[in-house]
Amino acid sequence: MTVAGIDARTGERSAVSCAETTANDVASRCEAAAQAAAGWARTGRAERARLLADAATALEGRAAEIVATADAETALGEPRLTGELARTCFQLRFFAEVVCEGSYLELTIDHADISPMGPRPDLRRMLVPVGPVAVFGASNFPLAFSVPGGDTVSALAAGCPVVVKAHEAHPATSALCHDIMRGVLPDGVISMVMGREAGIALVRDPHIRAVGFTGSVGGGRALADLAASRPEPIPFYGELGSVNAFAVTPAAAAARSGEIGRGLAESFTLGAGQFCTKPGLAFVPAGAHGDALRDALLGTVEGRAFTLLTDKIREAYTDATHQAAEQAADAAADPAADPAVGQGAGRPAGRTVAATVVEVEAAGLTPELLEEVFGPYLVLARYDSAAQLRAAVGMLPGALTATVHAEADDEIGAELARTLTARVGRLVWNGYPTGVSVGWAQHHGGPWPGTDTVFTSVGATAVRRFLRPVAWQSVPSGVLPEELRDEYDGAPRRVDGVLQLPNS
């Protein structure tokens, strides 16, 4: 069996095809990762950071080749993929900075003392790497959420070797990035497997200590179950599905209908609508301002064609958009009315599709219309009143993001912000949820099905997933890790309850 590279535009097999990894080879790569784990964990933070930065430089050195390979496999286009490579390299250097800064170690020292409970021993705590990590590449980001992507980089930064399961949508891109990364990192610190069965074997392998996953709810949940059912269960960090509500208050629609309509159109079709942060459900007021917003939205996407990543995504998109349109038509109060489909009713050949906007009344939202559909698809829910909006927002499932468009002193907007914050990982105000900047304050997660954990997969704290605490009790200085000796000054530490910054 091979995983063939498919040209996304022509459907032809590319010259590169990559064999599915056998069970024996999965086992030997995990074994190699386990062999490399102690050495990589012991590698100083400065040296680990230097190697991450070197990996960025090495990827940049072959940018043209990477972008061309990824474009052939994904049809995402050169500008987007050039940007995605820049993001990927920025992320490698950002995690190098996070590692050097050292707060992530959570260094804590309680000197021996007399407490209200009696004598207390000297106790020192820091986080240490969990060991080899399995990373599942995503279909929709062949670079930033795949072989050299966020899960890989945060695990490497934490001090863990990584075995990546490459996504079938871009095997050649994955193989190329893997070769480049492997050329920079020590033996066994990064390796790759291909194929569905290999992914299952990877999650089951006893050397693997944690799993990072970006993908569908169904696939993620199946792998999470596998991780939980091992003789020694391991944490599964899944970034799964998200419908990303987008709510426009009456005041905002009155003030900025055209601008919001055009902005929303660009956001839900960005990357052919295949972002996990795509706004998939917009609440827009009934009436003239809302109509103007809708018209600006439809006018922006009209006539545009989008190429989806895989045949499977295209089939799911076509099926879901037809079902949703039928449902919306059935639910329409006036059966003679327009079935409320904006675009995309046809079933075009290949992977190229038009955008689809399904317009419904907010009161008529069904659970089916609250499910994520990959591709340029948007449910436009029109609300009559703040009460109706409130009721509809109350039935939303957990999500990665929610967006509020409101005006100054807009009470409905402030209330929406409070309500939506309880259901999401990131609240966007007068902006668009697509575009997840890499930084210290980012959070990319959220209640199920956004993620199944209390962690992020983007931003500085993504490293926490691949670390575990250890406490040393009464251990002499010479046996302690360097960072926990009294004289160390290379990172913030909490000493006897007081947070202290390094002097340098």
Catalytic residues: 239, 276
Pick 110 or 239: Cβ nearer a copy of itself: 110
CB of 87: closest distance to a copy of itself in angstroms? Answer: 6
Pick 24 or 474: Cβ nearer a copy of itself: 474
CB of 81: closest distance to a copy of itself in angstroms? Answer: 14
Pick 118 or 335: Cβ nearer a copy of itself: 118
Pick 184 or 227: Cβ nearer a copy of itself: 227
Phi/psi zone of residue 131: left (φ > 0), alpha (ψ -120 to 50 degrees), beta?
Answer: left
Quick one: angle between helices 150-158 and 45-61, nearest 10? 150
* Intra-chain end-to-end CA distance of the chain, in Å: 56
Going by their DSSP bridges, the two strands 210-214 and 424-429 should be labelled as unpaired
Task: In whole angstroms, give the CA distance from residue 400 to residue 73.
Answer: 27
**Which residues, 6+ apart, have CB-to-CB distance to 363 below 8 Å?**
383, 384, 388, 391, 392
Q: Which tokens sit at 368?
A: 């089916």
Q: Which tokens sit at 196?
A: 């569905």
How many CB atoms lie under 10 A from the CB of residue 12? 12
Exposed/middle/buried for residue 289 (C-beta within 10 Å: 0-12, 13-18, 19+):
buried
Look at residue 114 and give its three-state secondary structure. strand
CB of 128: closest distance to a copy of itself in angstroms? Answer: 8
Write down the residue that tokens 């295949």 correspond to: 274
CB of 40: closest distance to a copy of itself in angstroms? Answer: 13
Going by their DSSP bridges, the two strands 424-429 and 399-405 should be labelled as parallel
Task: In whole angstroms, give the CA distance from residue 192 to residue 286.
Answer: 51
Task: In whole angstroms, give the CA distance from residue 179 to residue 435.
Answer: 28
Exposed/middle/buried for residue 467 (C-beta within 10 Å: 0-12, 13-18, 19+):
buried
Pick 46 or 470: Cβ nearer a copy of itself: 470
Pick 17 or 453: Cβ nearer a copy of itself: 453
CB of 211: closest distance to a copy of itself in angstroms? Answer: 13
Helix (H) or strand (E) run with residue 126 in it: strand 123-129
CB of 66: closest distance to a copy of itself in angstroms? Answer: 17
Residue pair 282/379 in contact (Cβ under 8 Å)? The answer is yes
Task: In whole angstroms, give the CA distance from residue 37 to residue 209.
Answer: 11
Task: In whole angstroms, give the CA distance from residue 104 to residue 465.
Answer: 11
Pick 233 or 299: Cβ nearer a copy of itself: 233
Q: What is the DSSP string of 195-262?
A: SHHHHHHHHH-TT--EEEEES-HHHHHHHHHHHHHSSS---EEEE-----EEEE-HHHHHHHHHHHHH
Task: In whole angstroms, give the CA distance from residue 458 to residue 447.
Answer: 15
Q: Which tokens sit at 191?
A: 């390796």
CB of 428: closest distance to a copy of itself in angstroms? Answer: 4
CB of 371: closest distance to a copy of itself in angstroms? Answer: 14
Pick 64 or 414: Cβ nearer a copy of itself: 414
CB of 304: closest distance to a copy of itself in angstroms? Answer: 23
Pick 261 or 425: Cβ nearer a copy of itself: 425
